[in-house]
Amino acid sequence: MTQAASVEQSAPVVPTEAALPTAPERDAQRAPAASGVREAQRQLRQAGRSRRVRERNEQRRFTSHRRARRRRWLIGIGAVVGLALFVIAGVYTPLMAVQQVRVEGVQTLNAEDVQQALSRFEGVPLALVDEREVHRALEPFALIQRYAIERIPPHTLVVRVQERAPVIALEREDGLELLDPAGVLLAKVDERPTGVPVGSAELSDTSSPAFRAAAAIIRDLPADVRGMLTTVHASNAQNVSFTLDSGTELVWGDAKNTQRKAVVFRSLVAAIGTPSTIDVSAPEAPVFS
């Protein structure tokens, strides 16, 4: 006889209301996680900002040299352009044209005559004043030995001249000819100027070594010594001699050591007065009698 087995079936477990978390509990559980996410997002944003700041700083550092180089180039180009405009304005416009010609260094010449000869440059831009044209304008003035020009913006042209100075007077039938060291005839006079001795017949050839040596000595003498000279003699370049206004004969020799010889001569005159002869041709061993 079969006995029926009894099968017990368990009913499903239904959670009770106490086993489920309430809404506040669920919010409390989610709060730490949300706070951590926000903190992470904040740190991420801050890191992004810091990275961008570093990148900008690095970019500025690497481009600063380039900017400085570009600035120098711009300054240089601006200076060149400005100079070019200044030159163009000075050369091709009347903004810097000559309005005044000033002559300096004139002693014997008439300054007004020289200025009149240079008046052709009035209205010419300073930069275009041609030195060859200045030379042509001054060529008729034999007394001018050399000259220099200076342009003073905006309107002044200065011409500085050095006149030829007579050093020897040569006797001619119609008077005395005054000659400079180059033998250029400067003037004809009746009386010898102070400091210009009358040359002997040997010096009539102005191209001779004797004339050149005598003229060089007189040119280089101090003014007070030149003022004592009345005549000059020389048969060659090594035996130049003078006659002083006191009657003393001064043997000079050649044209070397002129300044030293002048010092020795002064010392002898101060010490012994006016002997008949003073020889300073060998300045280290002067002789007088």
pLDDT band (50, 70, 90) for residue 90: low
Residue 259 sits in the same domain as residue 178: yes
What are the structure tokens assigned to 188, written together?
């004809």
Residue 221 sits in the same domain as residue 266: yes
Residue 202 sits in the same domain as residue 150: no
Using the 3D structure, point to which of 144, 163, 182 is the last residue of a domain: 163
Preceding omega of 154 cis (within 30 degrees of 0): yes
Residue 228 sits in the same domain as residue 147: no
Amino acid in the structure at residue 127: A
| Torsion of the alpha carbons at 191, 196, 198 and 200, rounded to the nearest 10 | -160
**Confidence at residue 247, expressed as pLDDT on a 0 to 100 scale:** 96
pLDDT reading at 245 higher than 60: yes
Amino acid in the structure at residue 280: V
Which has more confidence, 4 or 211?
211
The parent domain of residue 200 ranges over 168-288
The CATH number given to whatever domain includes residue 140 is 3.10.20.310
Asked if residue 191 is part of any domain, the answer here is yes
| Torsion of the alpha carbons at 102, 106, 111 and 114, rounded to the nearest 10 | -80
Taking only the tens place, the pLDDT of each residue in 104-159 is 999 888 889 999 999 999 999 888 899 999 999 999 998 898 999 999 988 999 99
Using the 3D structure, point to which of 112, 128, 163 is the last residue of a domain: 163
Residue 259 sits in the same domain as residue 173: yes
Q: In 3-state terms, what secondary structure has residue 228?
A: coil
Which has more confidence, 9 or 26?
26
Residue 194 sits in the same domain as residue 140: no
**Confidence at residue 168, expressed as pLDDT on a 0 to 100 scale:** 97
**Confidence at residue 271, expressed as pLDDT on a 0 to 100 scale:** 93
Q: In 3-state terms, what secondary structure has residue 280?
A: coil
Using the 3D structure, point to which of 145, 163, 181 is the last residue of a domain: 163
Asked if residue 105 is part of any domain, the answer here is yes
**Confidence at residue 213, expressed as pLDDT on a 0 to 100 scale:** 97
Q: Report the chain's terminal Cα–Cα distance, integer Å.
A: 192
Give the integer Cα–Cα distance in Å for 144 and 184.
11
pLDDT band (50, 70, 90) for residue 91: low
User: Which residue in the block uniquely carries the two structure tokens 């010594």?
Assistant: 225
pLDDT reading at 165 higher than 70: yes
The CATH number given to whatever domain includes residue 257 is 3.40.50.10960
Residue 185 sits in the same domain as residue 151: no
Residue 155 sits in the same domain as residue 235: no
* Number of domains making up the chain: 2
What are the structure tokens assigned to 99, written together?
């309005």
Asked if residue 277 is part of any domain, the answer here is yes
pLDDT band (50, 70, 90) for residue 29: low
Average pLDDT, whole number, for the chain?
A: 85
